[in-house]
Amino acid sequence: MSRRSSEAVWWRGPAFWLGLAAGVLVTACVRVNVHGTRPGPEPLRVATYNTSLYDDVSGRLINRLEAGDEPARRIAAVLQRVRPDIVLLNEFDFDPAHRAADLFQRHYLEVAQSGGGRPLHYPYRFLAPVNTGVPSGLDLDRSGSLPGVDAGADDPAEAARKRGNNAWGYGLHPGQYGMLVLSRFPIDANAVRTFQRLRWSTLPGAHAPVDPETGQPWYPPHVWSQLRLSSKSHWDVPVHTPQGVLHLLAAHPTPPVFDGPENRNGLRNFDEIGLWKRYLDGGSSKWLCDDRGRCGGLSPDAAFVIAGDYNADPTDGEGEPGAIAQLVAHPRVNGSVVPRSAGAPERASAHSLPRRGDTAAHTGDFGPRTGTLRLDYVLPSRELRVHDAGVFWPPADSPDAALAGASDHRAVWIDVTLPATD
């Protein structure tokens, strides 16, 4: 009986249990004789979902969740259908009191939603500050001024834009577009590693933007030496599953657009993805230090899943060539596992935009000008056994089609088991 498809049944009469025992014996014989293996542990479902649960005003997501937010209900309904054991939510506004996370869990995930399934309860979660919306005190967009300095000359929209452009990561208030990890299993909070404050310039071979008109560095030395790499943060979240420790490597690199010919966002996206490449390379790199001062990469024997909205399609879109290949082609990653759906190629065909890649693997719909792309990933380490994978994107004639459009991204999941330790 699958945990995902049915509730557990705790009591039946004697005839039921005799019949069940006989059925189990027959099933076991079939598995041994045909496949040569015994039934293993139930797979763990790991997912990522860019929820678009953010607001341009600080605290307003909390107000929306308190009042009853229809987008949040639809996001919860999708999660109740997918039913991940561990899930990373991108674009979920962070607040220091964790009020939004509390509300979303209690009043949305733990309440059966229309079009969803049974309520979901996650006893464990991890969230932390991110760089979006946090003032840098630097003129990062080279506009010649900072918000507040020339406040009298700025209209509110212009002032907001300046605040966003000059934050460590673009955002209109601290915590906008944050991240949230939910888990059915314990998270080792003491072992979590975050890389919010890691400086871009410390990355070996960092792609420093260049002003194409002058040939000089886009960022002056005093800015470049301080600029943080992660537009939100990079998290290594160890989860103690019944099968062993699984590291969830979570991130949300900046989109490779909204810049100029210097391509500062495209290069930053490439290097944000490249941080995980260096982390998987392992070793005792002295530059690769987390926010608590612990240095070095991921242990070579650690099982992991890389998850998140990486804003990089393997073949299409505006990102730097080879950006996501740094992870998909990494020797520790099983890049051959590609979640797919029936709904994505339908939508891609409707946009009629040229595409070189596999449209069935696309994970988001970004309108008629951009079309569909594969931006969201759950990439397993090679030692994990993969049982299934998918994208929650039903075809247009499905009753679930409207539900899938709760965000411009779709939920992406993978079912894995960890290698036996005995």
Q: Return the CATH number at 263.
A: 3.60.10
Report how far apart, in Å, the C-alpha atoms of 253 and of each of 133, 185, 327 are: 15, 26, 13
Full pLDDT tens readout for the chain, 422 residues:
333 432 222 222 333 333 333 333 322 232 222 233 446 799 999 999 999 999 999 999 999 999 999 999 999 999 999 999 999 999 999 999 999 999 999 999 999 999 998 999 999 999 999 999 999 999 999 988 776 555 445 677 778 888 899 999 999 999 999 999 999 999 999 999 999 999 999 999 999 999 999 999 999 999 999 999 999 999 999 999 999 999 999 999 999 999 999 999 999 999 999 999 999 999 888 999 999 999 999 999 999 999 999 999 999 999 999 999 999 999 999 999 999 999 999 999 999 999 999 999 999 999 999 999 999 999 999 999 999 999 999 999 998 998 988 999 999 999 999 998 65
Q: Is residue 321 part of a domain?
A: yes
Domain that holds residue 212: 176-417
pLDDT tens-digit map of 275-295: 999 999 998 889 999 999 999
Q: Is residue 379 part of a domain?
A: yes
Q: How far apart are CA 235 and CA 125, in angstroms?
A: 13
Residue 321: how many other CB atoms lie within 10 Å: 9
Q: How far apart are CA 407 and CA 325, in angstroms?
A: 26
Tokens of 321: 């060539």
Q: Is residue 43 part of a domain?
A: no
| Pick from 312, 136, 132, 322: nearest CA to 224 | 136
Q: How far apart are CA 76 and CA 65, in angstroms?
A: 12
Q: Is residue 405 part of a domain?
A: yes
pLDDT tens-digit map of 348-383: 999 999 999 999 999 999 999 999 999 999 999 999
Q: Is residue 109 part of a domain?
A: no
Q: Is residue 210 part of a domain?
A: yes
Tokens of 58: 């600080």
| Pick from 292, 283, 144, 267: nearest CA to 200 | 267
Give the phi and the psi of residue 91 in degrees, each rounded to 5: 55, 55
Sign of torsion, CA 389 392 394 398?
positive
Q: Is residue 140 part of a domain?
A: no
The amino acid occupying position 419 is P
What percent of the chain is helix, strand and coil (3-state, nearest 5)? 30, 20, 50
Instruction: Quote the number of domains for the chain.
Output: 1
pLDDT tens-digit map of 94-120: 999 999 999 999 999 999 999 998 999
> Residue 409: helix, strand or coil by DSSP?
strand
